[in-house]
C-alpha cells in the first residue's frame, strides 16, 4: 500500500568523521553532486563551511577564514550559479552593513572565497541592507531575494534582483501586490514562476501560498482548501 511505502521514504545516513556539528539557522545548497553547508548556530554562531559528496558519502571542510570569506552568519541564504556560490545576509552585527553589501562569493572549482568587486562599493540605497530569514532563488542569470527581517525595522516586503553578469542590484518596487512583509518563509522555482509559502508577519504565522511570474512580473495568491 502507498501508506506503507511512504513510511520508508526516509533513510538515515550514518555520519563519519570529519563531519559538521549539530546546528540550525544555517544555509545549504546542492551543486554538481555535492551538498554545501555554511555557518548557522549551535551554542554560539558558527564560522565553518562544509561539502558533502553524495556518491562517496563523505564530508570535507572548506576554507572560511580568509578576508574575502564571511564571518559568523545565521539565517542567511546560499545559491549556486555557474561554478560559484552566492551567500547573502545573516550578519550578526548589523552596523557592519552600513558601508558594505552583505554578499560573498565562493569559487567551487578553486575552492576559495573571491573578492569579485571592482572599484568602490555601490552607492548607499541602491543595494539591500543586511537581513535574516529571507529567501533567495535563481531565474536565468539573476538571483531574487524576497523579504527577511531587517534589524529594528522588522519584517520587510522588499523584493530584490541581483544580476550575476553586471553584478548590479535592482529593487523591484514596480511589482504590485504580493505576500507583504515576512521572514522565515520558504521559496522555490518551477518553470517560469517562484512559489513562496508561509513565514512570519511580525509574530503571526502565515500559511498562504503565492506565485510570482518572471514573465509577467506579477504576483498571484494561490487559494487552496
Taking the model in full, what pTM does it have?
0.90
How far apart (Å, rounded) are the C-alpha atoms in residues 161 and 146? 9
- Quick check: 51 and 38 in contact, CB under 8 A? no
Hunting for cell 520587510 — which residue is that? 156
- In the chain, where the domains are located: 15-129, 131-225
Looking at residues 81-103, what average pLDDT do you find? 83
Q: Which CATH superfamily, name and number, covers 15-129? A: Kelch-type beta propeller (2.120.10.80)
Residue 120 or residue 197, greater confidence: 197
Residue 210 pLDDT > 50:
yes
Closest to 142 (Cα-Cα) out of 220, 195, 194: 194
Residues ≥6 apart with Cβ < 8 Å to 91 = 70, 71, 73, 97, 102, 130
- Provide the 10 A C-beta neighbour count for residue 80: 17
Looking at residues 14-26, what average pLDDT do you find? 92
Residue 32 pLDDT > 50:
yes
The pLDDT of residue 107: 97
- Ranges 64-68, 122-126, 160-164, 214-218: which has the least confidence: 122-126
Looking at residues 32-52, what average pLDDT do you find? 96
The pLDDT of residue 15: 83
Q: What is the mean pLDDT of the chain?
A: 89
How far apart (Å, rounded) are the C-alpha atoms in residues 72 and 180? 29
Residue 120 pLDDT > 50:
no
How far apart (Å, rounded) are the C-alpha atoms in residues 83 and 105? 10
The pLDDT of residue 119: 42
Would you state the cell numbers that stand for residue 225, as one nine-digit string?
A: 482548501
Pairing of strands 49-53, 58-62: antiparallel
Hunting for cell 555557474 — which residue is that? 82
- Ranges 36-50, 88-102, 191-205: which has the least confidence: 88-102
- Sheet containing 112-114: give its strands across: 77-81, 84-88, 103-107, 112-114
Amino acid at each position: 500500500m502507498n501508506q506503507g511505502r511512504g513510511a520508508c521514504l526516509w533513510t538515515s545516513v550514518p555520519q563519519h568523521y570529519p563531519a559538521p556539528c549539530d546546528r540550525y539557522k544555517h544555509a545549504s545548497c546542492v551543486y554538481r553532486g555535492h551538498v554545501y553547508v555554511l555557518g548557522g548556530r549551535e551554542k554560539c554562531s558558527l564560522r565553518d563551511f562544509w561539502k558533502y559528496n553524495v556518491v562517496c558519502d563523505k564530508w570535507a571542510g572548506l576554507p572560511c577564514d580568509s578576508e574575502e570569506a564571511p564571518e559568523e552568519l545565521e539565517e542567511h541564504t546560499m545559491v549556486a550559479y555557474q561554478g560559484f556560490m552566492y551567500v547573502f545576509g545573516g550578519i550578526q552585527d548589523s552596523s557592519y552593513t552600513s558601508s558594505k553589501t552583505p554578499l560573498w562569493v565562493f569559487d567551487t572549482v578553486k575552492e576559495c572565497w573571491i573578492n569579485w568587486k571592482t572599484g568602490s562599493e555601490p552607492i548607499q540605497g541602491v543595494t539591500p541592507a543586511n537581513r535574516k530569514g529571507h529567501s533567495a532563488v535563481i531565474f536565468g542569470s539573476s538571483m531574487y531575494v524576497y523579504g527577511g527581517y531587517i534589524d529594528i525595522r522588522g519584517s520587510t516586503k522588499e523584493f530584490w534582483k541581483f544580476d550575476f553578469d553586471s553584478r548590479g542590484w535592482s529593487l523591484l518596487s514596480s511589482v504590485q501586490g504580493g505576500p507583504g512583509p515576512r521572514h522565515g518563509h520558504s521559496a522555490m522555482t518551477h518553470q517560469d514562476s517562484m512559489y513562496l509559502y508561509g513565514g512570519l508577519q511580525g509574530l503571526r504565522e502565515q500559511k498562504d501560498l503565492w506565485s510570482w511570474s518572471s514573465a509577467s512580473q506579477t504576483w498571484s495568491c494561490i487559494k487552496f482548501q
